[in-house]
Amino acid sequence: MKFSELAKYFEEIEKNKSRLIITNLLAELYKKLNSDEIEKTVYLLQGRVVPAFEKIDFGMAERMVIKAIVSALNLDRGYFIKEFGKLGDLGKTVERFKKQYASFDEKDLNIIEVYESLYKLATAAGEGSQEQKINILANLIRQLDHLSCRYLVRIPQGIMQLGFSDMTVLDGFSWMINGDKSLRPEIEKAYHVRPDLGFIGRTLKEKGINGLSKIKPKIFTPIIMMRAERLSSGKEIIDQIGKCAVESKYDGFRLQIHYRKGEVRLYSRSLEEVSEMYPDVIEGIKKEVNIEELIIEGEAIGYDEKTNSFLPFQETVQRKRKYDIAEKAKEIPLKLFVFELLYFNGKNYIDEPFQKRREELEKIIKGKNIKENVILISPQDIVDNGITIEKLFDKAVKSNLEGILAKKLDGVYKPGARGWNWIKFKKSYSSKVEDTIDCLVMGYDLGKGKRTSFGIGAFLAGVYDEKKDRFVTVAKIGTGLTDEEWKELNVKCQKSRSASSGQAKIKTKPDNYFVDKMMECDVWLDPKIVVEIRSDEITKSPVHTAGLALRFPRLERFRDDKDAKETTTLNEIEKLFLRQKK
C-alpha cells in the first residue's frame, strides 16, 4: 500500500470520535495490508517503529522537526514558527506549507519505504546523528504529498492525535477476521502474553486466529502482569478460594525479570525496561541464579542493613531514578523477593497451577538469608482458616509491609487479568473505605491565591472503566497535599500536557476521558500520572461520571510504578462502595 493511501485512513480516523467507526476503519485498512505492512502500520499508528517496550525512541525534539521542515521546503524559520503558533499543530502547519510549496521531488512511496526510513532515523546514534535524523525527515517531507506530511511529522513526536487505544487496535483485528468483536477475548489473551501489536497483526495475517493459540512467552518481551482482586477479611478470602498460600505484600517495585545466558533485563508494571535503574538486582540475579532461560516476577524493596528492617515506600521510591544510580544503590540497597515463575528453560509455566509453579521456583531461587542474598524467594504459609490469615496480615503490617496476598493453590497465572486466583488484603484505615484508591490525574485547574506559585489549584482524578475502555471521574482534589507535593505534581504535569503546541491551556480533552461539564479542567493531561488516594467515604455523585465520588480525598503518594490502565477500576470502586464500613 502507498503511504498516501494510509494517510487518508489516518485522516478519516482523526475526524471520527466514534469508537465503532474507528474500529471499522481499522478493520478495513487491515484487510488491504499484507503481513509485513500490517506489522509496520500498527507501529506507525502508535507513533513508533517498534513495540512500546523496546528502547528505541526517535529522539527528535519539536525544534529538530521544525528544522527538518524548513530545510525540506526552504522556508524562513521565523515565518514558519509564526504560522505554527496560529494553528497550534505542527502536522497541519507543514501540510499547509506543503500545499503551497510542492516540490518536484515528490514520489508516491509505499508504507515499507517510509517505515524503513523512519526506523533508520530512530536508530541513528553517535556523532552527527542529530543532523542525520533531520536529513532523513527532510528527505521524506520533500517526497511525500501534503496530507502524508501531516502524519509523517507527528510520528517522530509520538503525537498521532488519532484518539484510540491498544484495545481498539485489538477490536479492529477481530472485525478484520469476523466482522464483529467476538474474537477480541482470544486476541487479547494472546496480546497479554506477547504485548506486541505488530506481532499480533502479522500472526493473524499469516496464520489466522488459530495461530494465536500457540503463542507462548518470549525472553525479553515482557508479559502483562497479573492483578489481584481485593477483600477485607481472612474469612472472606477462605470463603472465596478455600485453603490457600499466603505471602507478604511488599511495598516496593514490582519487577518482571527476563534472563538468558548472562543477560538480564528488568521490566516494570507498565512494560518499561528499567534495567539501568537497578544494577544491584541485575548483579544479584547473575550471581545467585544459575540457569539458562528464565522469566520470573518479584518485588524489589528497600532494606536497612543496620536495623534489619524494610524501608517504607517513600524511601524505596528514591531508587527510581536515571541519575546518580550507583550512589543511591549504596544508600538504599534493594532486596528482590521472587514470587512467580512464568517461563523456565523453554517451558511455559503460565498455565500450570500455582503449587507447581511454586515447587519449580523453590528449585531455582536458593537465597534465604536476607543479610547475604539479594534475590530471595518470597516466604509463604499454607492456610485453611481466616483467623490465621488475619494474624499473618498483622505480622506483615508490623514488619512495615503493605499487607498480604492470598493465592489459590490450583490457580493459573492470567496475564493482564484481575481475578480470584490472587486476592490482596491491605491495610485498613479508620475511615469507612477499607483501601486506598489508585487514580489517574486527568487534568487540573490553574492555581489562585497562594496556589498561583504551584501552578495548580485542584486536579481531576479518575479511574478506569474497563467495559468501555475510558476513564471516568471520581474526585476533584484541591486539598490534602503539602506544598512540596503540589510542586511535585506541577512538575509531573508539565511533562504530561496533552498538547503538541506547548500551550498551557488546552481546548479539548483526550477522547477516552468521560467528564461532566461541571468537572471540566483548565488544562488536560495525557494519561500518565497515577496517584494513590485515601478517602473517608465513597458516596453517590450526580456530577462525577463514575456515578460515585471520593469524600475527603487526600494524596497518599505518587505511583510512578503504575501506568494509566493499572488504576483502580470502576468495577472495583463500585464494590468498595457496597462493602464500605457502615
Cα-based distances in Å from 109 to 74, 96, 121, 133: 22, 20, 17, 19
Look at residue 403 and tell me whether its pLDDT is greater than 90.
Answer: no
Give percent of the chain with pLDDT exceeding 90: 57
pLDDT at residue 154, rounded to an integer: 92
Look at residue 433 and tell me whether its pLDDT is greater than 70.
Answer: no
Mean pLDDT along residues 266-276:
91
pLDDT at residue 432, rounded to an integer: 57
User: What amino acid positions are annotated as catalytic residues?
Assistant: 249
Q: Is 101 helix (H, G, I), strand (E, B) or coil?
A: coil
- The pLDDT-based confidence of 452 (bands split at 50, 70, 90) is low
| Local structure of residue 110 (DSSP, 8 states) | B
- The pLDDT-based confidence of 401 (bands split at 50, 70, 90) is confident
Q: Are 193 and 415 in contact (CB under 8 A)?
A: yes
Nearest partner of 313 among 231, 241, 380, 401, judged by Cα: 401
Strand spans (E) along 326-469: 334-344, 347-348, 375-377, 380-383, 403-408, 418-426, 437-445, 458-465
pLDDT at residue 412, rounded to an integer: 96
Mean pLDDT along residues 434-440:
86
The more confident residue out of 402 and 386 is 386
Look at residue 246 and tell me whether its pLDDT is greater than 90.
Answer: yes
State how far the Cα of 547 lies from the Cα of 543, in Å rounded to an integer: 7
pLDDT at residue 460, rounded to an integer: 95
Grid coordinates representing 277 are: 535503574
- Judged by average pLDDT, the poorest of 90-99, 118-127, 443-452, 561-570 is 443-452
State how far the Cα of 287 lies from the Cα of 44, in Å rounded to an integer: 40
Mean pLDDT along residues 344-359:
96
Mean pLDDT of the chain: 89
- The pLDDT-based confidence of 191 (bands split at 50, 70, 90) is very high
| Local structure of residue 249 (DSSP, 8 states) | E
| Local structure of residue 561 (DSSP, 8 states) | T
Look at residue 507 and tell me whether its pLDDT is greater than 90.
Answer: no
pLDDT at residue 104, rounded to an integer: 66
- Judged by average pLDDT, the poorest of 318-322, 324-328, 336-340 is 318-322
- Chain-centroid distance, C-alpha 355: 30
Look at residue 362 and tell me whether its pLDDT is greater than 60.
Answer: yes
- Chain-centroid distance, C-alpha 248: 25
The more confident residue out of 87 and 379 is 379
pLDDT in tens, 72-95: 998 999 999 998 888 888 999 999
pLDDT at residue 193, rounded to an integer: 96
pLDDT at residue 178, rounded to an integer: 93
State how far the Cα of 18 lies from the Cα of 254, in Å rounded to an integer: 36
Sketch out the chain's domains with CATH numbers: 47-157 (1.10.3260.10), 229-426 (3.30.470.30), 437-579 (2.40.50.140)
Mean pLDDT along residues 482-505:
66
pLDDT in tens, 158-167: 888 887 788 8
Which residue's entry shows cell 510504578? 561
Alpha helices for 413-560 (secondary structure H): 483-494
Q: Are 232 and 277 in contact (CB under 8 A)?
A: no
Let me know if 278 is exposed, middle or buried by CB neighbors in 10 A (0-12, 13-18, 19+): buried
Grid coordinates representing 293 are: 532461560
- The pLDDT-based confidence of 498 (bands split at 50, 70, 90) is very low
Nearest partner of 536 among 550, 546, 522, judged by Cα: 550
pLDDT at residue 449, rounded to an integer: 57
